[in-house]
Amino acid sequence: MCGILLYTDPTRDFTYLQQQIAHRGPDSTQLITHDGIAFFSSVLSLRSPFTAQPLIDEDFVLQFNGELYNDEISGNDTRWIQQMLQETGDVVPTIRSLDGEFAYVIYQRSTRTISFGRDPVGKRSLVWSTAGDQLVVASVHPIEDREQYTDCLNGVIYQYNLDTHTLTMIPNDTHYNINPNTDQDITHISERVSQLHSVLSRSVAQRLKTIHPLHTSSTPFSILFSGGLDCTVIASLCAQLSPADTSIDLLNVAFDNPRTGLTASEAPDRQLAIQTWLSLCKTHPTTTFNLIEIDVPYSEYQDIRPKVIELMYPKNTEMDLSIAIAFYFASRGRGSLLSYGDDGSTASILRQPGYQSTGKVLFSGLGADELYGGYHKFANKDSTTLVPELEKQINGIYERNLMRDDKVISDNGVEVRYPFLSHDVIKFSTEEIEINYKVNKLILRELAKTLGLGFVAEEPKRAIQFGSKSAKITQGGKIKGTDSLS
């Protein structure tokens, strides 16, 4: 994960915003002025060799935030983009060739053009403003005049001409269409499960092998872990595709909720996570799964709440806050490490407080509900109604979830990766899987069974804000998730 800030008036003071950008990339920060344009970059180094940003050559200045999974990349992906730009001299086809989760800024001196944008799904945040005929592009919103800034649309290539002060937008060339066909006799379910297993495994493997500095931590990556279906499938695949004796942190967050009187240890996601963790350990005995209990006292919730509201802007509802603040604490990775005795029971569990997860990459199961019909509102819809609903969900996930989550999680200096949201997984899941296999996540539940995860295959959907008890902590029962924050 890296941070991007560009502004065409280098006399402006963006000190506070630079501090916010620096949180996203703790390994390196650099501010340069080139051709009268200020570039501030921060870097979280996950691909060797280490590469400070921005990268500058005779014609291009490059800022890049994210990870690429193109097969032809063998080293640092930012340097690979620079090489492609040098070879082609053309920004648009270079950007269209990238496979991954990313945001970018590219200044081309020969054309006096600044190009910027997000990947076709929109997994990394980026905002822009052209107020006063001055361009500003940043990973997060500034504090001052934030209403002047707009979040980039997914996959759109923005191009700002420095001479004419005009902004043009090249539309996203990727749109996912849902297969409307049904297989009432469930004839092809085994074939589809096998195909899903293959494409999802490849997505997980791509996101594992590109964590280059494995020696920097005994636990190089973590998983945002509720104990539910989606994250458990990802955890199992990570174990299968990692070397024996790999250590994986499972980050489980829960809140003390004074409104309900429940403590964090009583939250539904905490109870489920413990049971699923114990089962995972038995299913994958050569992998060390570290369950990290991240308890959030009400006082700490109050302290962090204003910061999360600031980070997730322009999102401003009770539901957005309850989701974002859960991800903030989970991605911070600070809690108690659980271990168990030889009998593998809850009675033998020991807790070691003061644990800090050191992995800089987080895996998330986001996207499974959108692809396989996991949300409760889909439960009673017929196929005709479900097709446009799912199409809307997956094509709009950048605006509804991703830009909020990236802004909040990255503030902890970690990077989140989404195996379900690789282009290949989305394309297969939308175009090949029959629509009736997506009722209540049928196909993913069948995949879980083939992975030996029967203990979680029938687990019902529970949103993180309800499972962790981050929703409605202080308000009365009448408050709605769609209500604006007071």
Residues identified as active-site: 2
Contacts of 302 (CB under 8 A, 6+ apart): none
Pairing of strands 221-224, 361-363: parallel
Q: Distance between CA atoms of 234 and 420, rounded to whole angstroms?
A: 9
Contacts of 48 (CB under 8 A, 6+ apart): 75, 76, 212, 213
**C-beta neighbour count of 165 within 10 angstroms:** 13
User: CA distances (Å), 279 to each of 290, 350, 447, in order?
Assistant: 13, 17, 17
Our CA angle for 270, 274, 279, nearest 5°, is 145
CB 269 within 8 A of CB 231: no
CB 95 within 8 A of CB 129: no
Residue type, 21: I
Q: Is 365 annotated as a binding residue?
A: yes
Task: Give the DSSP letter of residue 454.
Answer: H
CB 104 within 8 A of CB 162: no
User: CA distances (Å), 59 to each of 108, 112, 137, 160, 192, in order?
Assistant: 6, 10, 20, 16, 47
Q: Distance between CA atoms of 379 and 402, rounded to whole angstroms?
A: 24
CB 236 within 8 A of CB 227: no
Beta bridge partner(s), residue 7: 38, 136
**C-beta neighbour count of 241 within 10 angstroms:** 16
CB 210 within 8 A of CB 67: yes
User: In the numeric block, which tokens belong to residue 253?
Assistant: 């967050």
Looking up tokens 């049971």 gives: 275
Q: Is 129 annotated as a binding residue?
A: no
Q: Distance between CA atoms of 309 and 325, rounded to whole angstroms?
A: 9
Q: Distance between CA atoms of 412 and 186, rounded to whole angstroms?
A: 45
Residue type, 315: K
Q: Distance between CA atoms of 396 and 104, rounded to whole angstroms?
A: 20
Q: Is 364 annotated as a binding residue?
A: yes
Q: Is 241 annotated as a binding residue?
A: no
Q: Distance between CA atoms of 247 and 412, rounded to whole angstroms?
A: 21
- Binding site for ATP, by residue number, is 224, 364-365
- Binding site for L-glutamine, by residue number, is 77
- Binding site, by residue number, is 77, 224, 364-365
